Amino acid sequence: MAESLNDKIVLITGASSGIGKSCAQAFAAEGSKLILTARRIDRLRNLSLSLKEKYDTDSIIFKLDVMSNENVRYFIGELPMDWQAVDVLINNAGLSQGLAKVQNGLLEDWETMLDTNVKGLLYVTRAILPGMIQRGRGHIINIGSIAGYQVYPGGNVYCASKFAVRALTEGMQIDVVDTPVRVSAVSPGMVETEFSLVRFKWDDEEKAANVYKGIDALTPDDVAEAVVFCATRPAHVNINELIIMPTNQASANVIFRRP
């Protein structure tokens, strides 16, 4: 029987935008209780209010920078008692910075990507997973990427970080194989969000918009639907990995664009 998400506690990192925000909306529609985290707290406040209005969702918001383990530990310590038994963790916070070749790359961009996409995911998981194992229930859903399967020009370090997310997903599946806890990865191709604006550091809106030119990219809602699908499988079923692409994208490097 499909798992109900009603009243489940769902923790989302990077809920202030894009896929994380859409996940918040999709899980709210399923009746879940939400822990919404990101650095831009104002956005979370607005999201929380709108979910209350639309779905009568109970949610709490936290300013959380996943790059800092100190910040993650503080956040965990601040969680109210009745919000501590997280049922679903969506490790979504992530970003790319630049498209430079390695020989021209900026060290601070590499560090931001690796600290967020890899170490941040690990910090949050390390804080939440032991409780799931102890309670004998829980589901971790990592947002990977097609960039975790194939490398594209200029993708070097971002792709490496998403290859790492894939390896960590597999590693965690091995680590919890003797427990009822599930670990899944949802790995999208091109999704139209703030991702490209962030990649170009909010400096070049036209360049960011061109990434999605001539193709019907995935929407963040498409991805959220896939995440809900993973989370609602019966308890004995785990979706190990789910790759979801726009119809006109065959791989990280093969994209058909309308002229």
Residue 95 binds what, of ligand NDP, ligand 8X3, none (CB under 5 to 8 Å, by partner type)?
ligand NDP
Active-site annotation holds for 152: no
Residue 162 vs residues 3, 39, 121, 185, 227: alpha-carbon distances, Å: 28, 21, 11, 11, 17
**Helices (H) then strands (E): counts for the chain:** 9, 7
Contact 117, 167 (CB under 8 A): no
Positive/negative CA dihedral, 35, 39, 45, 50: negative
Active-site hit among 123, 149, 158, 212: 158
CB 167, min distance to ligand NDP, A? 15
CA atoms within 13 A on the CB side of 207: 11
11 binds ligand 8X3 (CB under 6 A): no
Contact 198, 218 (CB under 8 A): no
* Three-state SS at 225: helix
| Footprint on this chain of ligand NDP (rule: CB under 6 A) | 13-14, 16-20, 38-40, 64-67, 92-95, 116, 120, 143, 145, 188, 190-191, 193-195, 198, 220
Candidate residues 76, 121, 146, 186; the one interacting with ligand 8X3 per rule CB under 6 A: 146
Residue 38 binds what, of ligand NDP, ligand 8X3, none (CB under 5 to 8 Å, by partner type)?
ligand NDP
CB 178, min distance to ligand NDP, A? 29
Residue 252 binds what, of ligand 8X3, ligand NDP, none (CB under 5 to 8 Å, by partner type)?
ligand 8X3
| Closest listed residue to residue 71, CA positions, set 12, 123, 132 | 123
Candidate residues 13, 59, 91, 145; the one interacting with ligand 8X3 per rule CB under 6 A: 145
Catalytic residues: 158
